[in-house]
Structure formats: structure tokens, C-alpha cells
Amino acid sequence: MVRAWQLWLSPRPQYRSKNNSQPAFKHLGDAALYEPLSKPDGLWYVRETHYIENPLVRAGLTGPPLHIHRLQDEHFKVEQGVLGAVKNGVEYAVTKDDGVFHIPAGTRHRFWSHKSATETLVFSVWLDPCKDTDHILDVNFLRNLSGYVDDCLKAGLKPSVFQIILFTEHASSLLCPPFLNWMPVWLLIWVHCGLALFAENPKRYYALTYQYSIQASNCFRLAIREMNEENWVLLVMFSMCNGIFDYYRPFLDENVMSIPYQPNPADTLSLMRVGGQFGVSIAEYMKNSPLRDKIQQADADAWAQDPDDLAPATLDKIAKLETWLRPGPSDSDREVLEAAAATKALAALSSWVKMLPGGKPRMFCHMVAWPVMLQEEYIALLRAKSPAALMVFILWSEVATYAPRRWYYAAWFQRGLSIGRRELEAQQPLTQLHRLWNSVMAVDGDEPLGATSEHGSASTVASTAYPPTPVFAGDGDGETEPNWGPLKEQMGDKQALPPGFGEFIDAELEVMG
């Protein structure tokens, strides 16, 4: 069965033209005609006719996109009209008086009916050498390509770049779309092989990505052993590529390999903490760099166009949960420690929300700020599926879903939010805290956790609904570091912060003006 993501990568028209038995076949409807013919020596050539009355021909759109023939020279001989051609960036207008127009192998080129033409364009084209059927621009390629493009046109679909690259790969040619045209030929070959392999066998290609990712990381670490002023941008770009792969890899596992993705909330935060720690390491270099806004993808205009303030509603939920977590006289030591760890995480969450423009994360440093502030006690509670820890995580996830819609993590936070809610809903028996959450905090449409009830003490946090959690060392006094700005107020024990993170946040606050 064809999956939705495969149809997105490669649109598949319901009707497929059968042009393999036709001596000549049309291209782009009635815009052009291809006639494969034979030379006296037995080799073949193609006679192309591009009809001037067709608007696509007059617009110069009936020729192929920019491409390279890796192993053959290409030759054109015009019979009628004016052939427009680009050869390594230089444009030519070729007529029958110019004789044979030659394009050497390895040359970036394209051709079309030139804008100066006043009559239908007719020309012959052939490649040399043209003997090895594994390395020629053969008739099968022309039939497959023209048939596929015409079928997409009839069905109102946009042809897939992946599918066209697969066609050209089998014809020993390279497509040069704008997003690949900057690459040297040797790199273009590798990219085409990878994209063609993905179009032909997604599972095989995807399995290789792990191997190549590990190899690339090992080579990179050997080449660059420490960060400095000269290489920090390179390190940022490499880390961003690895980060994107790590963020989106679970969804590829699910879509390509059919491996269900059920993220653990604690693992979600652990991944975000790694990003925050890297942010600390580059803060010194980013502070005065002209590339800062581009790397952060800060968009002040987008912030100004989104005036709704999410902070009051989120802070109200945080305040309610903080009230419910206050210790009661009958609470055990473990229950008090669990409530204290969740309360510190809530205090940090409150400071984070107050820092965000409009109470919404606007760039990556906003996303990693709260996870980096968390103590290990809270992470342990979350891993053990403590109700209080899950509730804090859900509040953070609700805010995180307002992050900029980056393709590689847009679904990530929504999935984490759904998992957090599902974990909470599945817990039995229901405690007083579950009922309080359901009565005041549950989102419309969520499955109820239980009937509403009056306010109870922190003893409702602990229950048999999750495994026993370790008893943590420390006094849990929640001291705060003075004069660290609004983001760092009430964040709890400063030992939870990595060295330099305070300075990192101070630097990032400047972006907000």
C-alpha cells in the first residue's frame, strides 16, 4: 500500500500514458513532439519540434531544466527557428546557420525555444558516445519523463523532484535545481545517488543514514577537537544538522520503518537539555556575531503580528498547581520531597513563561531554557510517571506547541503533549490531585480523569499509580540566585543550572530588546 508520505514525495497520477509503442510522442500536452530516429550507422537521435503557437513554447518552458550529462557530449543541429541554450551560465541563440552546437560532458546546460523566435523550433539532438545502453540518455528516459510530466499536468499535480532525479540517475545525468546548483559535480553525484536511492528504496536508504551519520560525526570530531573563533560557525552548522536529524528521526522511524514512536517525556526533556548545554558553549561567540539573528531565526516582525498574550492563562494554571502541591501535616518525607521537586520545576516554568514574548517561545534558545533549569530530582519523578511531574510537563508542552513551525520539530511537541496527557489519564486509582486537575485544568475534549473534588494536601501526589521513586538528598530549600533577571527568579536550587547558563540567558534576553 502506498503511504501518504510517499504520495507527498512522489505524486502518482491515476492515469498513466502508454507511449512506449508510439514512434513519436508528445510532451507537455501539444507543446512539443519527440521523434526518435536512426542514423545510417545504426545509432539514434531525436528530432524535436516545439510549436510556437503554444504559450509554454513562447514562454521558454518546454525545454528541460538545468542538467548535466556525466559521460556524453551533446550535439544540437537546428533546422528551423531559434534554439536558446545556456552552457555553464552563458546564454546562446542558435540557428541553422550556426551548424552543430556542441555541449561537452560535465557541462551545466539547458535549452528551449528562444524568445526571439518567430516560427516553430525544429532541431535534432544526439549524444556521443551513444553505444553503452547503461550510460546514455536513452529513449526510455525520454518516454518515461515526458509520460510522467504529462500525466501530472493532466491530473493537476506538481511533478516530484525525487522521481525526476531517479529518472536522470538511471540515464547517467544530473539534475541541477536551484537548491543543488551551488554544489560541485562530485558532490552533486553523491546527492543524486542518495536521493535516487531514497526514491527507489526508502527503507534501504534510511538504514544507511545511521551509518553515514555516525561516520560523519566521528570524522568531524577528529578534525575539530575544540571550539574557537575560527570554527564555531562550522560547529554550529554541523550540530544543527545533527540536531535536526535527532529531532525528526523518531518520525522517520515511524513513517519509513513502521516503528511506532511513543516518546518518554523525560527523554524529551533530556534531548532539550543537550541543546541548551550547546547553547552555553557558543554564547560567547554568538553575543556580538552578525550571524546571531540568522542562527537563532529570530523574527521580530512575526512577534509583532502575534499580539495575543498566552502568559496570563498559563501562569494561572501554574499558580493553581503550586497551591495544590503545598505540603500537608500528614505528608510523608517522600511525599514532601516529591512535592518540593515539582514545585521547583513549576517556579522555573513560571519564570520562563514570564520571559517569553507574549508567553510563547519564539526561537530555539527559548525552547531549551526551561529544560536546562530543571533539577535531576524532577527528571527522575517524570521518568517514574509521577502525576505532579506529568502535570508540569503538560503545562510546558502546551506552551511549546506555540513554537515556530519548524518541519523537524513541529509534530514533536504535539506528540509529547499527547503522550503526557495519555500517561496521566491512564493512571489508576485516581488521587485527589488527579481530580483537582480534571476539574480546573483539563483541556476541552480530553478524557476526564475523574469526578471533581475539594482541595486536598500534597499527600495526594503520591499513589500506587506509578512506581516508587528514590528518596533524594538535599534540603530542598529552593534558594534563588539574586539579580539574575526575570527569567532566573524563583528557579529553585542554582546547582541545577550548568556553568555559564545564567550568562547565556542574559545574552539571549538582548534579542528581545
**Residue 185 pLDDT > 60:** yes
pLDDT for residue 215: 63
> Is the omega angle on the peptide bond into residue 429 within 30 degrees of 0, that is, cis?
yes
Predicted local confidence at residue 21, as pLDDT: 61
Give burial (CB, 10 Å; 0-12/13-18/19+) of 408.
middle
What pLDDT was estimated at residue 496?
39
CA distance 96 to 73: 20
pLDDT digits (tens, 9 = 90+) for 224-239: 778 888 888 888 888 7
Asked if 446 and 391 count as a contact pair (C-beta separation under 8 A), the reply is: no
Q: What is the DSSP letter of 112?
A: E
Q: Where are the beta strands (DSSP E) in 255-304?
A: none
Distance CA 447, CA 427 (A): 12
Greater confidence (403 vs 446) lies with 403
Q: What is the pLDDT of residue 169?
A: 59
| Lowest-pLDDT range of 367-381, 397-411, 455-469 | 455-469
Residues contacting residue 210 through CB under 8 Å, at least 6 positions apart: none
CA distances (Å), origin 406, targets 56, 248, 270, 411: 36, 11, 20, 9
Whether the predicted pLDDT of 500 surpasses 50: no
- Higher per-residue confidence, 276 vs 399: 399
Q: Read off the amino acid at residue 61.
A: L
pTM of structure: 0.50
- Indicate if the pLDDT at residue 80 is higher than 70: yes
Listed as own residue / partner, the contacts of 179-183 with beta carbons closer than 8 Å and 24 or more positions apart are 181/66, 181/108
Superfamily the domain 25-132 falls into: Jelly Rolls (2.60.120.10)
The residue among 399 and 407 whose pLDDT is bigger is: 399
> What pLDDT is recorded for position 469?
29
- The whole-chain average pLDDT of the chain stands at 74
CA dist 386 and 342 (Å) reads 9
Mean pLDDT to the nearest integer, 216-228: 75
- Percent residues over pLDDT 90 in the chain: 19
Under 8 Å CB-to-CB from 445, ≥6 apart: which residues?
Answer: none
| R_g of the chain, CA atoms, integer Å | 31
| Per-residue pLDDT band at 187 (split at 50, 70, 90) | confident
Q: Is the pLDDT of residue 77 over 80?
A: yes
One-letter identity of residue 258: S
Give the closest residue to 462 by CA, choosing from 435, 431, 438, 437. Answer: 431
Tell me the backbone φ, ψ of residue 256, rounded to 5 degrees.
-90, -45
The domains of the chain are located at 25-132, 201-255, 265-512
Flag whether pLDDT at 446 surpasses 60: no
- Work out whether strand 67-69 and strand 173-175 pair parallel, antiparallel, or are unpaired: antiparallel
Instruction: Report pLDDT for 124.
Output: 94
Asked which of 74-78, 131-135, 345-349, 406-410 is least confident by mean pLDDT, the reply is 131-135
- Helix/strand/coil (H/E/C) assignment for every residue in 417-477: HHHHHHHHHCCCCCCHHHHHHHHHCCCCCCCCCCCCCCCCCHHHCCCCCCCCCCCCCCCCC
d(CA 198, CA 200): 5
pLDDT category at 442 given cuts 50, 70, 90 is low
Per-residue model confidence (pLDDT) at position 85: 96
pLDDT tens string 334-377: 778 888 899 999 999 999 999 888 888 887 778 888 888 888 88
Identify the pLDDT of residue 489.
36
**CA–CA distance, 250 with 258 (Å, rounded to integer):** 10
Which has more pLDDT, 337 or 468? 337
> How confident is the model at residue 483, as a pLDDT?
31
Look at 14-18, 278-282, 350-354, 473-477 and tell me which has the smallest mean pLDDT. 473-477
Could you tell me which residue, 449 or 422, shows the higher pLDDT? 422
Does the structure show a pLDDT above 60 at 451?
A: no
Q: 65 with 110: CB under 8 angstroms?
A: yes
Q: Give the tens place of pLDDT for each residue, 20-46.
A: 666 788 888 889 998 888 777 667 788
Band of pLDDT at residue 184, cut at 50, 70 and 90: confident
Residue that wins the pLDDT comparison between 392 and 243: 392
pLDDT at 78 over 90: yes
